[in-house]
Chain A
Protein backbone atom coordinates (compact mmCIF):
# COMPACT_ATOMS: atom_id res chain seq x y z
CA UNK A 1 0.00 0.00 0.00
CA UNK A 2 2.75 2.41 0.99
CA UNK A 3 4.71 1.64 -2.17
CA UNK A 4 1.58 2.17 -4.21
CA UNK A 5 0.99 5.58 -2.69
CA UNK A 6 4.63 6.52 -3.32
CA UNK A 7 4.25 5.35 -6.95
CA UNK A 8 1.10 7.40 -7.43
CA UNK A 9 2.75 10.41 -5.87
CA UNK A 10 5.74 10.18 -8.20
CA UNK A 11 3.54 9.66 -11.24
CA UNK A 12 1.38 12.61 -10.23
CA UNK A 13 4.43 14.85 -9.92
CA UNK A 14 5.54 13.83 -13.41
CA UNK A 15 2.10 14.58 -14.82
CA UNK A 16 2.14 17.97 -13.14
CA UNK A 17 5.51 18.62 -14.75
CA UNK A 18 3.88 17.98 -18.16
CA UNK A 19 5.62 14.65 -18.73
CA UNK A 20 3.62 13.38 -21.75
CA UNK A 21 5.19 9.92 -21.74
CA UNK A 22 4.14 9.40 -18.10
CA UNK A 23 0.59 10.53 -18.89
CA UNK A 24 0.48 8.32 -21.98
CA UNK A 25 1.42 5.30 -19.85
CA UNK A 26 -1.26 6.27 -17.33
CA UNK A 27 -3.77 6.61 -20.15
CA UNK A 28 -2.85 3.21 -21.64
CA UNK A 29 -3.23 1.54 -18.27
CA UNK A 30 -6.58 3.06 -17.36
CA UNK A 31 -8.48 4.16 -20.48
CA UNK A 32 -10.24 0.83 -21.12
CA UNK A 33 -11.22 0.36 -17.49
CA UNK A 34 -12.54 3.89 -17.19
CA UNK A 35 -14.45 3.47 -20.44
CA UNK A 36 -16.10 0.26 -19.18
CA UNK A 37 -17.10 2.00 -15.95
CA UNK A 38 -18.48 5.05 -17.74
CA UNK A 39 -20.49 2.82 -20.02
CA UNK A 40 -22.38 1.60 -16.95
CA UNK A 41 -23.26 5.18 -16.09
CA UNK A 42 -24.03 6.75 -19.46
CA UNK A 43 -25.41 3.62 -21.10
CA UNK A 44 -23.73 3.50 -24.49
CA UNK A 45 -20.25 2.86 -25.79
CA UNK A 46 -19.81 5.99 -27.90
CA UNK A 47 -20.86 8.36 -25.14
CA UNK A 48 -18.66 6.48 -22.67
CA UNK A 49 -15.65 6.92 -24.92
CA UNK A 50 -16.41 10.63 -25.34
CA UNK A 51 -16.66 11.13 -21.58
CA UNK A 52 -13.51 9.07 -21.06
CA UNK A 53 -11.61 11.30 -23.48
CA UNK A 54 -12.94 14.43 -21.76
CA UNK A 55 -11.86 13.03 -18.39
CA UNK A 56 -8.27 12.44 -19.44
CA UNK A 57 -8.15 15.78 -21.26
CA UNK A 58 -9.35 17.59 -18.14
CA UNK A 59 -6.77 15.82 -16.00
CA UNK A 60 -3.98 16.68 -18.46
CA UNK A 61 -5.04 20.30 -18.85
CA UNK A 62 -5.54 20.97 -15.14
CA UNK A 63 -3.49 18.55 -13.08
CA UNK A 64 -4.53 19.64 -9.61
CA UNK A 65 -6.64 18.35 -6.78
CA UNK A 66 -5.21 14.86 -6.31
CA UNK A 67 -4.24 14.01 -2.74
CA UNK A 68 -2.25 10.76 -2.39
CA UNK A 69 -3.21 10.48 1.27
CA UNK A 70 -6.91 10.23 0.36
CA UNK A 71 -6.74 7.55 -2.32
CA UNK A 72 -5.13 6.26 -5.48
CA UNK A 73 -4.60 8.15 -8.69
CA UNK A 74 -6.92 5.71 -10.43
CA UNK A 75 -9.59 6.46 -7.84
CA UNK A 76 -9.09 10.18 -8.47
CA UNK A 77 -9.41 9.59 -12.22
CA UNK A 78 -12.64 7.65 -11.73
CA UNK A 79 -13.95 10.45 -9.51
CA UNK A 80 -13.39 12.97 -12.32
CA UNK A 81 -14.98 10.53 -14.77
CA UNK A 82 -18.06 10.18 -12.59
CA UNK A 83 -18.49 13.96 -12.45
CA UNK A 84 -18.05 14.29 -16.22
CA UNK A 85 -20.64 11.56 -16.71
CA UNK A 86 -23.06 13.46 -14.47
CA UNK A 87 -22.49 16.55 -16.61
CA UNK A 88 -23.13 14.47 -19.71
CA UNK A 89 -26.52 13.43 -18.30
CA UNK A 90 -27.44 16.99 -17.47
CA UNK A 91 -26.59 18.15 -20.99
CA UNK A 92 -28.69 15.34 -22.40
CA UNK A 93 -31.68 16.38 -20.36
CA UNK A 94 -31.65 19.68 -22.23
CA UNK A 95 -32.55 17.85 -25.45
CA UNK A 96 -35.34 15.42 -24.49
CA UNK A 97 -36.39 14.64 -28.06
CA UNK A 98 -32.94 13.19 -28.79
CA UNK A 99 -32.95 11.35 -25.50
CA UNK A 100 -36.03 9.33 -26.42
CA UNK A 101 -34.52 8.19 -29.69
CA UNK A 102 -31.21 7.19 -28.23
CA UNK A 103 -32.55 5.26 -25.26
CA UNK A 104 -33.95 2.61 -27.57
CA UNK A 105 -30.57 2.08 -29.20
CA UNK A 106 -28.85 1.87 -25.85
CA UNK A 107 -31.24 -0.70 -24.46
CA UNK A 108 -30.81 -2.92 -27.47
CA UNK A 109 -27.05 -2.58 -27.39
CA UNK A 110 -26.91 -3.30 -23.67
CA UNK A 111 -29.15 -6.32 -23.71
CA UNK A 112 -27.34 -8.03 -26.53
CA UNK A 113 -24.05 -8.27 -24.68
CA UNK A 114 -25.23 -8.73 -21.08
CA UNK A 115 -25.74 -11.93 -19.14
CA UNK A 116 -28.57 -12.42 -16.61
CA UNK A 117 -26.59 -10.56 -13.95
CA UNK A 118 -25.74 -7.88 -16.47
CA UNK A 119 -29.41 -7.50 -17.23
CA UNK A 120 -30.27 -7.21 -13.55
CA UNK A 121 -27.38 -4.80 -13.07
CA UNK A 122 -28.64 -2.58 -15.89
CA UNK A 123 -31.94 -2.20 -14.02
CA UNK A 124 -30.30 -0.71 -10.93
CA UNK A 125 -30.33 3.03 -10.29
CA UNK A 126 -27.32 4.84 -11.76
CA UNK A 127 -25.71 5.57 -8.39
CA UNK A 128 -26.04 1.92 -7.36
CA UNK A 129 -24.50 0.73 -10.65
CA UNK A 130 -21.65 3.16 -10.20
CA UNK A 131 -20.98 2.10 -6.62
CA UNK A 132 -21.15 -1.65 -7.28
CA UNK A 133 -18.95 -1.40 -10.35
CA UNK A 134 -16.28 0.54 -8.49
CA UNK A 135 -16.32 -1.98 -5.66
CA UNK A 136 -16.74 -5.30 -7.46
CA UNK A 137 -14.90 -4.65 -10.70
CA UNK A 138 -12.42 -1.94 -9.79
CA UNK A 139 -11.85 -3.21 -6.26
CA UNK A 140 -11.90 0.26 -4.70
CA UNK A 141 -11.72 0.27 -0.90
CA UNK A 142 -14.41 1.85 1.27
CA UNK A 143 -12.13 4.85 1.90
CA UNK A 144 -11.48 5.30 -1.82
CA UNK A 145 -15.18 5.00 -2.60
CA UNK A 146 -15.91 7.66 -0.01
CA UNK A 147 -13.41 9.95 -1.72
CA UNK A 148 -14.64 9.25 -5.26
CA UNK A 149 -18.32 9.62 -4.39
CA UNK A 150 -17.80 12.38 -1.79
CA UNK A 151 -19.77 10.56 0.89
CA UNK A 152 -18.84 9.31 4.39
CA UNK A 153 -17.37 5.79 4.76
CA UNK A 154 -20.39 4.71 6.81
CA UNK A 155 -22.64 5.72 3.92
CA UNK A 156 -20.50 3.68 1.52
CA UNK A 157 -21.15 0.64 3.67
CA UNK A 158 -24.91 1.11 3.85
CA UNK A 159 -25.24 2.02 0.17
CA UNK A 160 -23.23 -0.99 -0.91
CA UNK A 161 -25.50 -3.20 1.11
CA UNK A 162 -28.60 -1.56 -0.37
CA UNK A 163 -27.21 -1.90 -3.91
CA UNK A 164 -26.33 -5.56 -3.42
CA UNK A 165 -29.73 -6.32 -2.01
CA UNK A 166 -31.45 -4.56 -4.88
CA UNK A 167 -29.32 -6.44 -7.42
CA UNK A 168 -29.94 -9.71 -5.62
CA UNK A 169 -33.66 -9.06 -5.57
CA UNK A 170 -33.83 -8.32 -9.30
CA UNK A 171 -31.51 -11.17 -10.15
CA UNK A 172 -33.46 -13.71 -8.11
CA UNK A 173 -36.73 -12.48 -9.57
CA UNK A 174 -35.34 -13.35 -12.98
CA UNK A 175 -34.74 -16.95 -11.82
CA UNK A 176 -30.95 -17.07 -12.06
CA UNK A 177 -30.26 -16.10 -8.46
CA UNK A 178 -32.71 -18.63 -7.10
CA UNK A 179 -30.96 -21.41 -8.95
CA UNK A 180 -27.56 -20.37 -7.68
CA UNK A 181 -28.68 -20.42 -4.10
CA UNK A 182 -29.80 -24.03 -4.08
Chain B
Protein backbone atom coordinates (compact mmCIF):
# COMPACT_ATOMS: atom_id res chain seq x y z
CA UNK B 1 0.00 0.00 0.00
CA UNK B 2 1.30 3.46 -0.84
CA UNK B 3 0.55 6.90 0.64
CA UNK B 4 -2.19 7.86 -1.80
CA UNK B 5 -3.99 4.57 -1.19
CA UNK B 6 -3.68 5.01 2.58
CA UNK B 7 -4.62 8.71 2.61
CA UNK B 8 -8.36 8.20 3.12
CA UNK B 9 -7.57 5.82 5.97
CA UNK B 10 -5.64 8.61 7.72
CA UNK B 11 -8.82 10.64 7.81
CA UNK B 12 -10.83 7.66 9.08
CA UNK B 13 -8.18 6.87 11.68
CA UNK B 14 -8.24 10.46 12.88
CA UNK B 15 -12.01 10.07 13.43
CA UNK B 16 -11.50 6.87 15.39
CA UNK B 17 -12.96 4.70 12.64
CA UNK B 18 -11.58 1.20 11.99
CA UNK B 19 -9.07 0.86 9.15
CA UNK B 20 -7.64 -2.15 7.36
CA UNK B 21 -4.60 -4.00 8.66
CA UNK B 22 -2.60 -3.09 5.53
CA UNK B 23 -3.37 0.58 5.98
CA UNK B 24 -2.44 0.44 9.67
CA UNK B 25 0.87 -1.24 8.80
CA UNK B 26 1.63 1.44 6.23
CA UNK B 27 0.73 4.32 8.57
CA UNK B 28 2.91 2.91 11.36
CA UNK B 29 6.05 3.28 9.28
CA UNK B 30 5.28 6.24 7.03
CA UNK B 31 6.54 9.69 7.96
CA UNK B 32 4.40 11.46 5.33
CA UNK B 33 1.18 9.85 6.53
CA UNK B 34 1.97 10.70 10.12
CA UNK B 35 2.53 14.31 9.03
CA UNK B 36 -0.88 14.26 7.34
CA UNK B 37 -2.44 12.93 10.55
CA UNK B 38 -0.69 15.67 12.51
CA UNK B 39 -2.01 18.27 10.03
CA UNK B 40 -5.54 17.00 10.56
CA UNK B 41 -5.14 17.28 14.32
CA UNK B 42 -3.81 20.84 14.10
CA UNK B 43 -6.54 21.86 11.65
CA UNK B 44 -9.22 20.38 13.90
CA UNK B 45 -7.91 22.14 16.99
CA UNK B 46 -7.64 25.48 15.21
CA UNK B 47 -11.09 25.07 13.75
CA UNK B 48 -12.50 24.58 17.24
CA UNK B 49 -10.70 27.77 18.30
CA UNK B 50 -12.36 29.58 15.41
CA UNK B 51 -15.70 28.12 16.52
CA UNK B 52 -15.26 29.41 20.07
CA UNK B 53 -14.51 32.88 18.76
CA UNK B 54 -17.42 32.78 16.30
CA UNK B 55 -20.06 31.66 18.81
CA UNK B 56 -22.55 34.44 19.64
CA UNK B 57 -21.82 36.06 22.99
CA UNK B 58 -25.47 36.26 24.05
CA UNK B 59 -28.31 33.97 23.15
CA UNK B 60 -31.17 35.99 21.63
CA UNK B 61 -34.73 35.53 22.79
CA UNK B 62 -36.31 32.60 20.95
CA UNK B 63 -38.90 33.58 18.35
CA UNK B 64 -40.42 30.11 18.64
CA UNK B 65 -42.36 31.38 21.66
CA UNK B 66 -44.39 33.60 19.36
CA UNK B 67 -45.37 30.68 17.13
CA UNK B 68 -48.49 28.71 17.91
CA UNK B 69 -48.79 25.01 17.19
CA UNK B 70 -49.34 23.98 13.58
CA UNK B 71 -52.82 24.61 12.20
CA UNK B 72 -53.52 20.91 11.78
CA UNK B 73 -53.17 20.33 15.50
CA UNK B 74 -55.64 23.11 16.26
CA UNK B 75 -58.13 21.66 13.83
CA UNK B 76 -57.75 18.24 15.32
CA UNK B 77 -58.29 19.54 18.85
CA UNK B 78 -61.40 21.44 17.81
CA UNK B 79 -62.76 18.45 15.96
CA UNK B 80 -62.37 16.26 18.99
CA UNK B 81 -64.10 18.77 21.23
CA UNK B 82 -67.08 19.90 19.15
CA UNK B 83 -68.19 16.91 17.08
CA UNK B 84 -72.02 16.90 17.03
CA UNK B 85 -72.71 13.99 14.67
CA UNK B 86 -71.73 10.36 15.29
CA UNK B 87 -68.03 10.06 14.58
CA UNK B 88 -68.45 6.79 12.74
CA UNK B 89 -70.86 8.45 10.31
CA UNK B 90 -68.49 11.38 9.93
CA UNK B 91 -65.57 9.05 9.20
CA UNK B 92 -67.63 7.26 6.54
CA UNK B 93 -68.56 10.59 5.01
CA UNK B 94 -64.90 11.64 4.87
CA UNK B 95 -63.93 8.38 3.18
CA UNK B 96 -66.71 8.87 0.63
CA UNK B 97 -65.63 12.44 -0.11
CA UNK B 98 -62.03 11.34 -0.49
CA UNK B 99 -62.92 8.48 -2.78
CA UNK B 100 -65.10 10.69 -4.99
CA UNK B 101 -62.85 13.75 -5.21
CA UNK B 102 -59.52 11.99 -5.39
CA UNK B 103 -60.60 9.34 -7.88
CA UNK B 104 -59.44 6.70 -5.46
CA UNK B 105 -60.42 3.21 -6.54
CA UNK B 106 -59.62 -0.01 -4.76
CA UNK B 107 -59.29 -2.64 -7.42
CA UNK B 108 -57.52 -5.85 -6.59
CA UNK B 109 -55.34 -7.63 -4.07
CA UNK B 110 -51.57 -7.25 -4.12
CA UNK B 111 -48.83 -8.99 -2.20
CA UNK B 112 -47.37 -7.14 0.78
CA UNK B 113 -44.12 -7.30 2.78
CA UNK B 114 -42.05 -5.57 5.38
CA UNK B 115 -38.95 -4.26 3.62
CA UNK B 116 -38.20 -0.54 3.61
CA UNK B 117 -38.29 -0.18 -0.19
CA UNK B 118 -41.56 0.33 -2.02
CA UNK B 119 -41.59 -0.59 -5.71
CA UNK B 120 -44.46 1.29 -7.34
CA UNK B 121 -45.99 0.09 -10.58
CA UNK B 122 -48.06 2.41 -12.77
CA UNK B 123 -50.39 1.05 -15.43
CA UNK B 124 -50.94 3.96 -17.78
CA UNK B 125 -53.89 4.29 -20.19
CA UNK B 126 -54.80 4.10 -23.01
CA UNK B 127 -52.67 1.03 -23.78
CA UNK B 128 -51.86 -0.13 -20.26
CA UNK B 129 -48.16 0.69 -20.55
CA UNK B 130 -46.40 -0.34 -17.34
CA UNK B 131 -43.83 1.91 -15.65
CA UNK B 132 -42.07 1.65 -12.31
CA UNK B 133 -40.29 3.73 -9.76
CA UNK B 134 -39.12 2.93 -6.27
CA UNK B 135 -38.94 4.93 -3.09
CA UNK B 136 -37.66 4.28 0.39
CA UNK B 137 -40.27 4.40 3.12
CA UNK B 138 -38.23 5.67 6.02
CA UNK B 139 -37.44 9.20 4.86
CA UNK B 140 -40.06 11.89 4.43
CA UNK B 141 -38.17 13.50 1.58
CA UNK B 142 -37.94 10.48 -0.74
CA UNK B 143 -39.26 11.30 -4.21
CA UNK B 144 -39.41 9.26 -7.37
CA UNK B 145 -40.61 10.58 -10.69
CA UNK B 146 -41.13 9.31 -14.20
CA UNK B 147 -42.36 10.41 -17.58
CA UNK B 148 -43.98 8.46 -20.40
CA UNK B 149 -43.44 10.22 -23.71
CA UNK B 150 -45.06 7.91 -26.24
CA UNK B 151 -48.68 7.43 -25.18
CA UNK B 152 -49.42 9.40 -27.57
CA UNK B 153 -48.87 12.60 -25.65
CA UNK B 154 -46.77 12.90 -22.51
CA UNK B 155 -47.49 12.18 -18.90
CA UNK B 156 -45.32 13.18 -15.97
CA UNK B 157 -45.74 11.68 -12.53
CA UNK B 158 -43.91 12.30 -9.27
CA UNK B 159 -44.47 10.46 -6.04
CA UNK B 160 -43.29 11.68 -2.65
CA UNK B 161 -43.35 9.36 0.30
CA UNK B 162 -45.11 10.93 3.31
CA UNK B 163 -45.44 8.23 5.94
CA UNK B 164 -45.89 4.56 6.56
CA UNK B 165 -48.21 2.90 9.05
CA UNK B 166 -47.55 -0.83 9.04
CA UNK B 167 -48.15 -1.80 5.45
CA UNK B 168 -50.19 1.31 4.62
CA UNK B 169 -48.25 4.04 2.88
CA UNK B 170 -49.28 7.63 2.43
CA UNK B 171 -48.09 9.16 -0.82
CA UNK B 172 -48.22 12.63 -2.31
CA UNK B 173 -48.72 12.28 -6.05
CA UNK B 174 -48.49 14.91 -8.78
CA UNK B 175 -49.32 14.22 -12.38
CA UNK B 176 -49.82 16.15 -15.56
CA UNK B 177 -50.81 14.96 -19.03
CA UNK B 178 -49.99 16.86 -22.21
CA UNK B 179 -52.01 15.73 -25.21
CA UNK B 180 -50.12 15.22 -28.52
CA UNK B 181 -50.61 18.86 -29.58
CA UNK B 182 -49.33 20.23 -26.25
CA UNK B 183 -46.53 17.67 -26.18
CA UNK B 184 -45.34 18.95 -29.57
CA UNK B 185 -44.86 22.39 -28.06
CA UNK B 186 -42.73 20.96 -25.27
CA UNK B 187 -39.53 21.21 -27.25
CA UNK B 188 -39.16 17.46 -27.69
CA UNK B 189 -39.62 16.74 -24.04
CA UNK B 190 -39.27 18.36 -20.69
CA UNK B 191 -37.96 17.48 -17.24
CA UNK B 192 -40.35 16.04 -14.67
CA UNK B 193 -39.44 18.84 -12.27
CA UNK B 194 -40.33 21.56 -14.77
CA UNK B 195 -43.51 19.90 -16.04
CA UNK B 196 -44.89 19.37 -12.54
CA UNK B 197 -43.80 22.72 -11.13
CA UNK B 198 -47.26 24.26 -10.87
CA UNK B 199 -49.29 21.10 -10.41
CA UNK B 200 -51.19 20.57 -7.16
CA UNK B 201 -50.29 17.56 -5.04
CA UNK B 202 -52.92 14.97 -4.14
CA UNK B 203 -52.40 12.74 -1.13
CA UNK B 204 -53.38 9.06 -1.19
CA UNK B 205 -53.14 6.04 1.03
CA UNK B 206 -51.86 2.94 -0.69
CA UNK B 207 -53.41 0.11 1.30
CA UNK B 208 -51.94 -3.40 1.62
CA UNK B 209 -53.32 -5.84 -0.92
CA UNK B 210 -55.01 -3.04 -2.86
CA UNK B 211 -54.32 -0.89 -5.86
CA UNK B 212 -55.36 2.69 -6.19
CA UNK B 213 -56.63 4.66 -9.11
CA UNK B 214 -55.20 8.09 -9.75
CA UNK B 215 -57.31 10.28 -11.98
CA UNK B 216 -55.34 12.11 -14.67
CA UNK B 217 -57.11 15.00 -16.37
CA UNK B 218 -57.41 14.38 -20.11
CA UNK B 219 -56.14 10.80 -19.95
CA UNK B 220 -58.12 8.61 -17.54
CA UNK B 221 -57.18 6.58 -14.49
CA UNK B 222 -53.72 5.27 -13.76
CA UNK B 223 -53.71 2.13 -11.65
CA UNK B 224 -50.98 2.21 -9.02
CA UNK B 225 -49.82 -0.78 -7.04
CA UNK B 226 -46.99 -1.21 -4.59
CA UNK B 227 -44.78 -3.96 -3.35
CA UNK B 228 -42.45 -3.77 -0.36
CA UNK B 229 -38.97 -5.05 -0.86
CA UNK B 230 -36.08 -5.68 1.47
CA UNK B 231 -33.68 -4.01 -0.94
CA UNK B 232 -33.82 -1.34 -3.57
CA UNK B 233 -34.75 -2.94 -6.91
CA UNK B 234 -31.57 -3.23 -8.97
CA UNK B 235 -33.26 -1.49 -11.87
CA UNK B 236 -35.39 0.99 -9.97
CA UNK B 237 -37.27 2.24 -13.02
CA UNK B 238 -37.97 -1.18 -14.42
CA UNK B 239 -37.15 -4.43 -12.61
CA UNK B 240 -37.41 -6.28 -15.93
CA UNK B 241 -34.99 -3.95 -17.74
CA UNK B 242 -32.34 -5.82 -19.74
CA UNK B 243 -28.65 -5.19 -19.19
CA UNK B 244 -28.28 -4.10 -22.79
CA UNK B 245 -29.68 -0.58 -23.39
CA UNK B 246 -32.31 -0.09 -26.09
CA UNK B 247 -31.15 1.61 -29.34
CA UNK B 248 -32.54 5.03 -28.37
CA UNK B 249 -31.95 4.68 -24.64
CA UNK B 250 -29.45 6.67 -22.61
CA UNK B 251 -29.23 5.85 -18.93
CA UNK B 252 -27.09 6.48 -15.88
CA UNK B 253 -27.84 3.94 -13.17
CA UNK B 254 -26.37 4.58 -9.70
CA UNK B 255 -23.62 6.85 -11.02
CA UNK B 256 -20.37 7.57 -9.24
CA UNK B 257 -18.27 10.45 -10.57
CA UNK B 258 -14.55 10.36 -9.86
CA UNK B 259 -12.28 13.37 -10.37
CA UNK B 260 -8.52 12.89 -10.20
CA UNK B 261 -9.01 9.62 -8.30
CA UNK B 262 -11.41 11.12 -5.76
CA UNK B 263 -15.12 10.40 -5.60
CA UNK B 264 -16.93 13.73 -6.01
CA UNK B 265 -20.50 12.47 -6.58
CA UNK B 266 -21.96 9.20 -5.40
CA UNK B 267 -25.63 8.72 -6.22
CA UNK B 268 -25.90 5.19 -4.92
CA UNK B 269 -29.71 5.36 -4.90
CA UNK B 270 -30.28 7.49 -7.99
CA UNK B 271 -30.72 6.68 -11.63
CA UNK B 272 -32.26 8.23 -14.72
CA UNK B 273 -33.11 6.96 -18.17
CA UNK B 274 -33.89 9.05 -21.23
CA UNK B 275 -35.17 8.07 -24.63
CA UNK B 276 -35.61 10.29 -27.67
CA UNK B 277 -33.70 11.83 -30.53
CA UNK B 278 -31.35 13.83 -28.25
CA UNK B 279 -31.62 12.11 -24.87
CA UNK B 280 -29.70 13.63 -21.97
CA UNK B 281 -29.12 13.06 -18.29
CA UNK B 282 -27.84 15.63 -15.80
CA UNK B 283 -25.95 15.03 -12.63
CA UNK B 284 -25.90 17.82 -10.07
CA UNK B 285 -24.00 18.14 -6.83
CA UNK B 286 -23.86 21.25 -4.61
CA UNK B 287 -20.41 22.78 -4.74
CA UNK B 288 -19.60 20.96 -7.98
CA UNK B 289 -22.35 22.22 -10.25
CA UNK B 290 -24.12 20.40 -13.05
CA UNK B 291 -22.85 17.93 -15.65
CA UNK B 292 -24.96 17.33 -18.75
CA UNK B 293 -24.37 14.04 -20.56
CA UNK B 294 -25.81 13.11 -23.94
CA UNK B 295 -24.98 10.60 -26.69
CA UNK B 296 -25.42 13.40 -29.26
CA UNK B 297 -23.17 16.46 -29.69
CA UNK B 298 -24.53 19.73 -28.33
CA UNK B 299 -23.38 23.30 -27.88
CA UNK B 300 -20.39 23.77 -25.56
CA UNK B 301 -19.96 20.05 -24.85
CA UNK B 302 -16.75 18.08 -25.18
CA UNK B 303 -16.52 14.56 -26.51
CA UNK B 304 -15.97 11.81 -23.95
CA UNK B 305 -15.07 8.18 -24.32
CA UNK B 306 -17.77 5.66 -23.40
CA UNK B 307 -17.16 2.02 -22.76
CA UNK B 308 -19.99 -0.14 -21.40
CA UNK B 309 -20.76 1.42 -17.99
CA UNK B 310 -17.91 3.96 -17.93
CA UNK B 311 -17.45 7.42 -19.38
CA UNK B 312 -14.06 9.12 -19.21
CA UNK B 313 -13.15 12.69 -20.08
CA UNK B 314 -10.78 15.52 -19.23
CA UNK B 315 -12.18 18.89 -18.20
CA UNK B 316 -10.28 21.94 -16.98
CA UNK B 317 -7.15 19.79 -16.69
CA UNK B 318 -8.81 17.26 -14.41
CA UNK B 319 -9.44 13.62 -15.27
CA UNK B 320 -13.02 12.45 -14.77
CA UNK B 321 -14.37 8.94 -14.73
CA UNK B 322 -18.10 8.27 -14.52
CA UNK B 323 -18.96 4.76 -13.38
CA UNK B 324 -22.49 3.43 -13.52
CA UNK B 325 -24.28 0.21 -12.59
CA UNK B 326 -25.04 -0.92 -16.16
CA UNK B 327 -24.11 -0.16 -19.77
CA UNK B 328 -25.03 3.43 -20.61
CA UNK B 329 -25.78 3.60 -24.31
CA UNK B 330 -25.27 1.87 -27.62
CA UNK B 331 -23.54 4.98 -28.96
CA UNK B 332 -19.79 5.04 -29.26
CA UNK B 333 -19.40 8.53 -27.86
CA UNK B 334 -20.91 10.68 -25.17
CA UNK B 335 -20.78 14.47 -24.95
CA UNK B 336 -20.36 16.29 -21.65
CA UNK B 337 -20.88 19.86 -20.54
CA UNK B 338 -19.89 21.06 -17.08
CA UNK B 339 -21.71 24.05 -15.62
CA UNK B 340 -19.95 24.70 -12.28
CA UNK B 341 -22.06 27.76 -11.45
CA UNK B 342 -25.43 26.25 -12.27
CA UNK B 343 -28.05 26.51 -9.52
CA UNK B 344 -31.66 25.40 -9.40
CA UNK B 345 -34.02 28.08 -10.68
CA UNK B 346 -35.83 29.98 -7.93
CA UNK B 347 -39.10 28.45 -9.15
CA UNK B 348 -37.80 25.06 -7.99
CA UNK B 349 -36.92 26.32 -4.50
CA UNK B 350 -38.94 23.57 -2.82
CA UNK B 351 -36.72 20.88 -4.30
CA UNK B 352 -34.05 19.04 -2.33
CA UNK B 353 -30.76 20.91 -1.83
CA UNK B 354 -28.67 17.77 -2.27
CA UNK B 355 -27.27 16.01 -5.32
CA UNK B 356 -29.74 14.78 -7.90
CA UNK B 357 -30.00 13.12 -11.29
CA UNK B 358 -32.56 14.01 -13.93
CA UNK B 359 -33.27 13.08 -17.54
CA UNK B 360 -34.98 14.59 -20.57
CA UNK B 361 -35.85 13.40 -24.06
CA UNK B 362 -33.94 16.35 -25.49
CA UNK B 363 -30.72 17.93 -24.30
CA UNK B 364 -32.18 21.28 -25.43
CA UNK B 365 -34.47 21.17 -22.40
CA UNK B 366 -31.50 21.57 -20.09
CA UNK B 367 -29.80 24.16 -22.28
CA UNK B 368 -33.03 26.12 -22.47
CA UNK B 369 -33.43 26.26 -18.66
CA UNK B 370 -29.83 27.29 -18.09
Contact = CB atoms under 8 A, between A and B. Distances in A.
A44 B359 CA distance: 36
A161 B5 CA distance: 12
B39 A181 contact: yes
B43 A164 contact: yes
A130 B353 CA distance: 13
Contacts of A9: none
Interface bracket on A: 35 or more
B69 interface: yes
Nearest to A52: B60
A28 B141 contact: no
B78 interface: no
Contact of B64 (A23, A118, A161): A23
B179 interface: no
Contacts of B69: 18, 61
B8 A161 contact: yes
A33 B55 contact: yes
B50 A115 contact: yes
Contacts of B343: 90, 93
A98 interface: no
Contacts of A53: 60, 62-64
Contacts of B17: 142, 157
A177 to B, nearest CB: 6
Residue among A18, A135, A136 with the most chain B CB within 10 A?
Answer: A136
A91 B62 contact: no
B210 interface: no
Interface in A19-52: 20, 23-24, 27-28, 31-33, 35-36, 39, 45, 49
B39 A180 contact: yes
Contacts of B197: none
Interface of B: 7-8, 10-12, 15, 17, 35-36, 38-40, 42-44, 46-51, 53-56, 59-60, 62-70, 139-141, 262-264, 266, 268, 286-288, 343-344, 346, 349, 353-354
Interface of A: 18, 20, 23-24, 27-28, 31-33, 35-36, 39, 45, 49, 53, 56-57, 59-62, 65, 82-83, 86-87, 89-91, 93-94, 113-118, 121, 125-128, 132-133, 135-137, 142, 149-152, 154-155, 157-158, 160-162, 164-165, 167-168, 171-172, 177, 180-181
Which 9 pairs across A and B sit closest by C-beta, in order of nearness?
A: A86-B353, A125-B287, A117-B46, A161-B11, A94-B346, A60-B64, A90-B349, A118-B50, A53-B63
23 contacts: A27-B59, A36-B51, A36-B54, A36-B55, A39-B54, A53-B63, A56-B62, A61-B64, A61-B70, A90-B353, A115-B49, A118-B47, A128-B287, A154-B266, A155-B263, A157-B8, A158-B263, A162-B262, A167-B43, A168-B36, A171-B39, A177-B43, A181-B35
